[in-house]
Each structure stands twice: as C-alpha cells, then as structure tokens.
Amino acid sequence: MRQQYSNVKQGYAHLKSIVINMAIRGIIMRKKLSIFSLLISCFLAAPALFAQDDDFDANFVAPRAKVAPGLGWDPTDLAIKTYGVNPIGLTGGDDEDGEKNNFYYTGFLRAPLNMGIGTNQTLNGDGMGGKKLHAPPVIPDSSYLDWRYTNLHGGPWAEIRFTYGNTKVNGNVTLATYNMTAGGYEKLAAQLGISEGFVSLALPGLFNGRGGVVANVGIFSARYGAAGRYDAGIYDTYLFGATKVAGEQVRLYFDVAPKVTLHFEQGFGGKIEVAPFMPYELKDEGGAIVTNSDTGANVPNPLGDAPWAPYGGSDWEQGDTFLHHEHLGVSIDDKLFIGAHLMHAFSVDSDSFNPQYGSKLNAHIINVGMDIRLRDFFFGDAYLGYAHTDLENPLRLGGALEALHSTDGWAWSQNFFKPGSIDPSGGSASMTATDGSATGTIDSISFEYDLSIAKLLWHPKEFWGQDKDVLISVFGMMNFINSDSPLFSAATKKLKWGASAQWIPIKWFGVGARWDSVNPDMDNNKLSFNTLSANLLFQTDFITHETFTIQYSKYFNGSDVMPGYPWNADGANGAMRPDDHVITMGASMWW
C-alpha cells in the first residue's frame, strides 16, 4: 500500500506542469470561460500541490472521531457536530464520546441602531431641505433582498437553536426574528417563529473508519457557495444557494488517501406551501376588478402593501415549488475544497384552465457551477466561485432557493430583470402575465480573501487572538445578465467590490476602515454609489464572542441612486433622496 501511494505521489507531481499550463491558459481566456477553466485547473492541481508533502505516502490516518466538513454549510452548523467546535453541554463528565443525550442551545444576536443623516427631499426635488435624522436610514443598500446590499448596516437579528440528542442522532428546533419589538413595533412578518425543525443523523466511521455519512430530514437550510470562513461572507449571500424547503439532505465522504477526501452530497424537498397571492387590483366577490366610479381607474388592493401581510409577489401567482440539488467535490487535509454544484428549483403545476397571473406556465431556476475554498491556512482564508443561472418564468416560483440576494421569483426578477433606473416621480411599472423579461441567464463570479497578519507572522506557531493583529479582507461579486425577451431593458453587467482593514492593538479593542463600490449597472454610473466607513470595536475577550460596534459611513451617491426598501417609493411624492451619512451603534454575540 505504501508503494501505491508513492506511485500516486509521482503521478501527481508529473501532472503538475501540465496543470499549471492549463491554469495559465484558462486565465487568458475570456469572461466566464476563463473562470471555469481556472476552477477546473485548480481541481486537478490540488492533489499535485500536496504531492510534495512528506506524509502523502504514509499509512492512512486514524479513523475520524467526528464528521468531516462538507462542500457547504450543514444545517447543524453552529449547533452540533460543527467542525472544530464543541457546543455547550455536548461533552463533559463521563460523556467523552458524546453519545449521551444532552439538551442545550446555541444562538446569535445582532441589535444595532442605524441612523441616517439627510434631507426629506425626493429625487425630483420636492419636499423639505435641511438636515434630518432617519431610522432606518434612507440608503440604497438597506434591504437584504436587494442586489445592492453590502451588509454594512445589517438590521436586528436573533436566532436560537435548541438541540436534544448526541453526536450521532439529534433533533433541532430554531426560533428566529429580524425585528425586536421593544425597539420597533410588532412587525408580524419579521417574527419568523419556529423557522426550522429537523432530525440529524451522523455516522463518521461508517466506512470502516475511512468515511461516513450525514443525513438531515425535516425543514432546514443547507447552504452552498458561502464566501466566508464561518458564514455567508461579507455580503451575506450565497453563490449557489441556501435551501428553504421541507425534505432531505444526504452527504457522503470517503478518505481515498491521506489528506484526500471525496465528497458527494444531494438533497430533495419542496415548499410546504407558497406565499398567498395578492394582486395589485382589488376584486369583488365575483372575481371582477373593482374600478373607481369617477375616474374608471382600477382600485389598488390595500393588502398589497400591508407591512404585516406575507408577500409572494403581486405580478404572478406562485406555483407549488420543489428543489433538488447535487454536489461533487474533493478536499485536501480538510483545508482546500473544490466542488461542482447543481441546484434546481422548479414548478410544474401549470393550470391551463386559469390563464391569469402566469398560472398557465411552468417555471425553473437552475444554478450550476464550481468553486474553490481555502480555509485555516496560515496565509489566510479564500473563496472563488463561478455560477451559471438559467431562469424561466421565475415569478412562478416560491422561495425554495435563496442565492445572489434573491429568494422568491419576484426577488430574482427585481434584482436582475427590471430596470434599475426608476421614474423618480413615483414607483415603477409592474410586470404582467405577458411580460417575459424575467426569463434569461445570469453568470456570476464571487470572491473573498481574509488574512490575519499575526497568524501569518506567528506561523508555524498557532495564533488564536492572544496578541495584536491586523485583519485584511478583499471581496467582490460580478454578474452578467442576458435575456432574449424584446421587453428586457435591465442592466447586463453588475459589479460590487470592496476592501477592509481592522487593526487590533489590544485584545479588547480594534479600529478599522472599509471601502465599498456598488455598480448595479456598469453602463450607467448615475446608479452607482460608493461608501467609506470607519469603526471602533470593543470586545471583552477573544475567547467569548461578543462585539460592541460604533461605525460611521459616508455615502457618495450617483444622481439617480434610489433608496432601498422601505424608502424606495412614497406614492405620488416619489422616492426619497438617499442619506449621505449613516451612524451605527450596536452589539452582536454568538454562543
């Protein structure tokens, strides 16, 4: 067996020069093909890079004591079996193997106050001037479901997961909200209640100690294409998708050689039910549109804009939505991961007897691509991914797949297939059942690189925050949109990118700066904006996970920049002019 691994080492080393040539040639190629070629080259190059390791031809490592990390984030991440983390109450006493049932909980909270400083003028010049305070701030990147979202001023969020079981079998229930009523009002749509409930099974030594299986069944979220080391990344979104369905997910992994693991993951599920349909127009009991007796205009549906009502889009009625996804990849030393991904949300419940609101149409969103991830290296954590998304009648889909700041089909349409330049005198034209401009393709590139200078300089000694440090991050996303519809008039190229640095001179204090550039239409810089932010961070200790933040952001807005939800329109008065200054103070913690 030792001789076999020696031969593998020599073979991979022999391929190295070929692989490097492929990578160089891939970089030279244009646009999406260059990224795809680069990822393929990295897929082939990874074993060659580790072929120089003296331990490559040694005997197999000892059987895994815990589940190997996968190609995405498991539904149980930050709850149980998280790679490298021992949750509270999981071990201790006479339960060193983690097989004794325990009840415990983990969670996260973020409680900020975001204040904007601007005017009460609209984009067309109406309204009062002078300095005004706004909460929430009137800014373009305020909404999580807006492509322009930067996560600079994330709103309130709290999530608690209760778990009962052991490291092999456990049940999980999650409570979540994005509004804390004591500081706002009782916004019913923000109270997510029991958002997840599922049972997880983990058998890390199933294949004679060389591999295992993880299965999740119930209602949960499996996430792929996250750019961050521990989360969705700076922009808090996913390149391939987070599942939002009831169903199953199974992942298999197998150690084929020391430090080399193959992965296969799959899942299937569906929405228990989609959001109810609320058309723009008010209808009587017979289904006829109600009109104004004086003007003859259609009477708007008062529930369409009700802040407490669930929103499934007011253009087309959502159909029964299902999702399947498959993933194949390889990891090296649990540090380098290269994966290929397919995620397919679809609806096939078209009704030819009811042609209104798109219900006669089937629909799909197919997201396919590759990514490469580096984690826990002394020279930093990195992510690079490419995705090709094919959409057909996405307005008919419920929110089974969350990716690229979009969930339900209406969000995909709004982010990628509606013009970004909206009439400042009030709102935008709605799509109708005959508007096919929400059908097309999106090619996306996402990257992030995070570096700890102290970890780099301390190497090979382990660094975990016991000394001063400088943290540096660069990140970005680019999208190419295409549609054959003659009605398509939205942006064809989008780009946002940024960089940040955080100096931590002592373990309880840090000072940082961040730059963001957001270009929702590369052919119209009037819609672009930039931000420059400075912040102060306070932490009692790096071992605990609480942070107190004070941040100031200066916005440099283009002349046609629209604010995000809920300030994007104000009836006949038009949209408000975005604020130029934002101050944030708040606290966050995870446990």
| 112 contacts 155 by C-beta, under 8 angstroms | yes
pLDDT digit string, tens, across residues 289-308: 677 666 667 666 666 666 66
The DSSP result for 136-172, as a single string, is S---TT--TTSTT--STT---EEEEEEEEE-SSEEEE
How many other C-beta atoms lie within 10 A of the C-beta of residue 319?
A: 25
Q: Which helix (H) or strand (E) holds 589?
A: strand 581-590
List of residues 6+ apart from 152 with CB closer than 8 A: 141, 514, 516, 531, 533, 551, 553, 582, 584
Which structure tokens are listed for 24? 């160089």
The DSSP result for 226-241, as a single string, is E-SSSSSTTTT-EEEE
pLDDT confidence bin for 280, thresholds 50/70/90: low
What is the per-residue burial (b if ≥16 Cβ within 10 Å, else e) of 541-570? eeeeeebebebebebebbebbbbbeebbbe
pLDDT confidence bin for 431, thresholds 50/70/90: very low
| 523 contacts 493 by C-beta, under 8 angstroms | yes
Residue 81 predicted with pLDDT over 90: no
pLDDT value at position 282? 67
Residue 496 predicted with pLDDT over 90: yes
- According to DSSP, the β-strands at 401-402 and 581-590 are unpaired
| Helical pair 2-28 and 31-50, crossing angle rounded to 10 deg | 160
Among 369-373, 425-429, 457-461, the least confident range: 425-429
Greater confidence, 393 or 264? Answer: 264
How many other C-beta atoms lie within 10 A of the C-beta of residue 473?
A: 20
| 232 contacts 306 by C-beta, under 8 angstroms | no
Note if the bond before 136 is cis, omega within 30 degrees: yes
What type of residue sits at position 343?
Answer: M
Strand order in the sheet with 223-226: 223-226, 238-243, 401-402
If you average pLDDT over residues 573-582, what whole number do you get?
80
Portion of the chain with pLDDT greater than 90, in percent:
40
If you average pLDDT over residues 534-562, what whole number do you get?
85
The alpha-carbon radius of gyration of the chain (Å, integer) is 25
Place of tokens 């943290």: 471
Most confident stretch, 107-121, 320-334, 461-475, 476-490: 320-334
pLDDT confidence bin for 545, thresholds 50/70/90: confident
Greater confidence, 121 or 560? Answer: 560
pLDDT value at position 517? 96
pLDDT digit string, tens, across residues 516-527: 999 999 999 999
| 271 contacts 219 by C-beta, under 8 angstroms | no
Q: Which helix (H) or strand (E) holds 412?
A: helix 409-416
At residue 20, φ and ψ (nearest 5 deg) are -60, -40
Separation CA 300–CA 283 (nearest Å):
9
Integer CA distances (angstroms), 454 to 209, 216, 383, 469, 535, in order: 36, 38, 20, 5, 20
pLDDT value at position 528? 94
Global pTM value: 0.82
